């Protein structure tokens, strides 16, 4: 793999007859070859079956002219130019701001700017962290600074007033909180004429617009929150500025007011609304974070829906990415005859190659296959382009080994414009709660090895999941694939007439619609095989009006890379409470029978049979397995079947009372630790060598509708399936379970 050629598709899942578009960037621009492949096994480890793909002749096959396409990251918002801006002479630009990285470089709060001419008026935070007015026209630029550096993560009322008749400019910098020995309040006045604005002037928030390759992009991007921005057609004094900050302003005709933007309205959209009555509505770019508490948040209401006026801020980041916006290079209309499965557009230029994976789903009931494999695309999005091996100081402690960086890891570290995962923090330290698939996701690739995947194959998420598809293929099972988005948008109907649902090695992120669909499938007697660990864990939301984006709020509890700010626990896309499903009355034990209990990323271990395995109800599972046999003391992931993240039975968290613990793992190292949500008080003894909680439970239970659930409780389990040419006790157990689950006789 090499990151000199990258690409993405406009869809993650397509059915026969639908068209998927591929966008490619070659650096430097040069031709490349494309073809369609079905991905079977993406693991390059020579101890396993090796890499497997099937070439599928298609219309995309052949030589394509390559070009370099760039990603312009950074979130901002703008209002298109119009007569209101062109006739402004006297004016006041104002907002309440919460800068997170003042200083170091210029950052624009608001701008009235002609991007082609490079002229207009800006209200900035300069490289010294001071509020600054910038006025540019005819190649001449003048600045007026407050002379007082602003504190990070503190609220300020800021304004730039220009009185054209008097030729006076006034800069206001008013801290909302006053500290002893901190001098950060300023009022600076200077005789200054304003540049003339024209019909090509844009109003922008958190950026200065500039042309780039036929597009308008944001420059001088701001890190921080903007609350209650306003624009007036006259010079306001400080009392008038503060009065206009009133969040209850809704369409009142106040003299001189041009625009009053309320960021608490239509939070799920890419729109920003002007409530002045002048209809100066705008749009956001690269999804600034919404449902953010504003300067007037009291702490008495945590749900933004209940007090929207206290959530009128947007948090802007200079490294946010939504849609890379690349042009389409080629498209594929999926033949109706193409079997369901994991596919990729495979691109090759010399020794460099790239895969752009996607799911081909079947129309439920038309293939005759009775197994549905759920491809965890929500989890892939959560981990998309994560930077933990280069950014996270604890990465090597988690794995007990030096992180090995591959070409894609180095490329992502050097090219931050490719965006972050929900395990990263933005450049200002805020957690990344939005993620998008409309960009190249370089760790969602066959052949990719992860720093987090333990010893051995070192696989995580997408490539680890090909152990499941490879086993299904090798054993001759007919199955169809569907994505998390299919399940989210279609609900239980996506599972059609399937009898068995197989989930992946790490199906961690679930929307309510997905959760409800699987629960309904189970309720009608469907059989579920959870082939991994740490499942049904985080609640997520997909944006109802902006395709390809997902949100996660890491609230209050859980094993997490960052924590949401108090008061920012509810999803902006849907208004739903975020965080762990466990904290919302739906622990993973309720569906899987087991749930997250421990994690470690060095070596995997094995299972020993427990009393439940000798119950007559479980006899079919252990046919051909000796009583004292170690289960899974081998495997491509850490050399064992029990590893990375482990799940256990807990009746208090919803494990059904008829759940059988069939086997439990043992022999884990102290790199394995009990997860944070299980610990009320820190105490010694939470490591794998001493804590009885550090284990994976292999479980089975029947449902009231005649179905059943089998859960492995380990991410590493699927990595053991192919051992010894698929002839091993892990593979045998899975054949026993799947064959019985395909038997229509009720449990």
Domain count, the chain: 3
Same domain, 225 and 178: yes
Same domain, 94 and 142: yes
Same domain, 85 and 17: no
Calculate ∠ Cα 432-302-174, nearest 5°: 75
Q: What is the DSSP string of 494-557?
A: GGTT-SEEEE-S---EEEHHHHHHHHHHHHTT-EEEE-SSS-S-EEEEE-SSSTTEEE----SS
**Running along the chain, 747 residues long, what does each successive block of 10 average in pLDDT?**
83 97 95 98 96 97 96 96 86 98 97 95 98 94 97 98 95 98 97 89 97 93 98 95 88 79 95 93 97 97 96 98 97 96 95 95 87 98 93 77 83 93 96 98 94 88 97 97 98 95 97 98 97 97 95 93 95 97 97 97 96 97 96 97 97 98 97 93 91 96 98 98 98 98 97
Separation CA 426–CA 320 (nearest Å)? 8
Question: For residue range 87-100, what is the model confidence (pLDDT) as tens digits?
Answer: 899 999 999 999 99
Structure tokens at 607: 């299972």
DSSP, collapsed to helix, strand or coil, labels residue 467 as helix
Same domain, 619 and 694: yes
Same domain, 121 and 213: yes
Same domain, 691 and 622: yes
Structure tokens at 216: 């308008």
pLDDT at 315: 98
Question: For residue range 2-41, what is the model confidence (pLDDT) as tens digits?
Answer: 468 999 999 999 999 999 999 999 999 999 999 999 999 9
Range of the domain at 630: 525-535+587-747
Exposed (0-12), middle (13-18) or buried (19+): which is 97, by Cβ within 10 Å? Answer: buried
Separation CA 463–CA 456 (nearest Å)? 13
> Which residue in the block uniquely carries the two structure tokens 């006041």?
92
Residue 187 included in any domain = yes
Residue 540 included in any domain = no
Exposure string over 42-74, b if 16+ CB within 10 A, otherwise e: bbebeebbeebbeebebebbeebebeebbbbbb
Separation CA 159–CA 199 (nearest Å)? 23
Same domain, 354 and 219: no
CB-based contact 43:445 (threshold 8 Å)? no
Separation CA 365–CA 592 (nearest Å)? 25
CB-based contact 23:11 (threshold 8 Å)? no
Same domain, 52 and 115: no
Same domain, 115 and 17: no
pLDDT at 139: 87
Residue 468 included in any domain = no
Residue 380 included in any domain = no
Separation CA 676–CA 559 (nearest Å)? 5
Question: For residue range 611-621, what is the model confidence (pLDDT) as tens digits?
Answer: 999 999 999 99
Average pLDDT, the chain: 95
Pairing of strands 168-175, 642-648: unpaired
Same domain, 607 and 734: yes
pLDDT at 293: 97
Q: Length of the chain, please?
A: 747
Structure tokens at 673: 């630790």
Residue 448 included in any domain = no
Same domain, 647 and 731: yes
Cα-based distances in Å from 207 to 272, 288, 425: 15, 12, 21
Same domain, 290 and 210: yes
Residue 494 included in any domain = no
Residue 236 included in any domain = yes
Residue 391 included in any domain = no
């Amino acid at each position: 793999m090499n990151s000199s050629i990258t690409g993405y598709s406009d869809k993650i899942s397509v059915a026969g007859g639908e068209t998927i578009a591929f966008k490619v960037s070659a650096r430097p621009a040069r031709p490349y070859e494309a073809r369609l492949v079905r991905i079977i096994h993406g693991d390059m480890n020579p101890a396993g079956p090796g890499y497997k793909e099937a070439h599928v002749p298609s219309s995309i096959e052949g030589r394509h002219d390559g070009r370099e396409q760039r990603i312009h990251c950074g979130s901002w918002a703008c209002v298109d130019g119009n007569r209101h801006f062109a006739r402004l002479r006297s004016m006041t630009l104002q907002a309440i701001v919460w800068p997170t990285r003042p200083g170091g470089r210029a950052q624009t709060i608001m701008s009235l700017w002609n991007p082609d001419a490079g002229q207009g008026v800006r209200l900035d935070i300069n490289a010294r962290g001071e509020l600054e007015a910038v006025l540019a026209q005819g190649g001449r630029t003048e600045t007026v600074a407050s002379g007082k550096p602003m504190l990070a993560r503190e609220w300020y009322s800021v304004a730039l007033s220009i009185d054209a008749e008097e030729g006076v400019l006034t800069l206001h910098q008013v801290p909302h909180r006053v500290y002893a020995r901190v001098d950060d309040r300023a009022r600076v006045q200077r005789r200054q004429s304003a540049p003339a604005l024209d019909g090509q002037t844009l109003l922008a928030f958190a950026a200065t617009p500039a042309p780039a390759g036929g597009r308008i992009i944001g420059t001088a991007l701001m890190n921080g929150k903007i609350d209650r921005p306003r624009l007036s057609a006259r010079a306001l004094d400080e009392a008038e500025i503060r009065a206009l900050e009133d969040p209850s302003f809704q369409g009142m005709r106040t003299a001189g007011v041009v625009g009053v933007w309320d960021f608490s309205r239509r939070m799920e959209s890419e729109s920003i609304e002007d409530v002045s009555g002048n209809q100066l509505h705008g749009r956001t770019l690269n999804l600034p974070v919404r449902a953010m508490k504003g300067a007037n948040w009291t702490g008495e209401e945590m749900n933004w829906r209940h007090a929207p006026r206290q959530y009128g801020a947007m948090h802007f980041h200079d490294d946010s990415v939504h849609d890379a916006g690349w042009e389409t290079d080629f498209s594929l209309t999926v033949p109706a005859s193409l079997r369901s499965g994991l596919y990729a557009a495979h691109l090759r230029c010399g020794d460099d190659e790239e895969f752009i994976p996607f799911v081909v789903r079947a129309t439920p009931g038309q293939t005759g296959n009775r197994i549905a494999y759920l491809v965890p695309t929500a989890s892939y999005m959560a981990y998309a382009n994560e930077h933990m091996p280069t950014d996270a100081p604890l990465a090597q402690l988690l794995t007990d080994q030096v992180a090995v960086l591959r070409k894609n890891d180095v490329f992502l570290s050097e090219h931050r414009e490719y965006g972050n995962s929900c395990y990263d923090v933005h450049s200002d330290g805020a957690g990344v709660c939005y993620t998008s698939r409309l960009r190249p996701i370089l760790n969602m690739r066959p052949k990719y090895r992860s720093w987090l995947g333990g010893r051995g194959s070192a696989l995580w998420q997408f490539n680890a999941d090909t152990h499941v598809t490879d086993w299904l293929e090798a054993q001759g099972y007919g199955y169809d694939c569907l994505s998390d988005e299919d399940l989210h948008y279609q609900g239980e109907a996506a599972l059609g007439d399937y009898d068995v649902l197989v989930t992946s090695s790490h199906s961690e992120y679930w929307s309510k619609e997905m959760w409800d669909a699987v629960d309904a499938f189970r309720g009608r007697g469907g059989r579920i095989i959870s082939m991994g660990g740490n499942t049904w864990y985080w609640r997520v939301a997909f944006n109802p009006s902006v395709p390809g984006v997902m949100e996660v709020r890491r609230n209050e509890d859980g094993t997490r890379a960052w924590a949401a700010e108090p008061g920012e626990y509810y999803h902006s896309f849907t208004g739903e409470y975020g965080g762990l499903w466990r904290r919302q009355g739906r622990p993973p034990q309720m569906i899987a029978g087991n749930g997250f209990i421990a994690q470690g990323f060095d070596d995997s271990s094995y299972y020993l049979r427990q009393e439940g395995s000798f119950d007559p109800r479980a006899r079919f599972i252990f046919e051909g397995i000796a009583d004292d046999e170690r289960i899974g003391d081998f495997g491509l992931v850490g050399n064992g079947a029990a590893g990375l993240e482990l799940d256990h039975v807990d009746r208090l968290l919803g494990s059904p009372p008829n759940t059988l613990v069939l086997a439990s793992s043992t022999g884990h190292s102290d790199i394995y630790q009990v997860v944070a949500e299980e610990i009320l008080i820190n105490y010694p003894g939470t490591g794998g060598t001493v804590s009885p909680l550090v284990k994976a439970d292999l479980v089975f239970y029947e449902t009231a509708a005649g179905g059943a659930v089998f859960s492995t409780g380990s991410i590493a389990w699927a990595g053991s399936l192919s051992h010894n040419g698929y002839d091993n006790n892990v593979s045998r157990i899975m054949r026993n379970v799947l064959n019985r689950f395909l038997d229509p006789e009720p449990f």
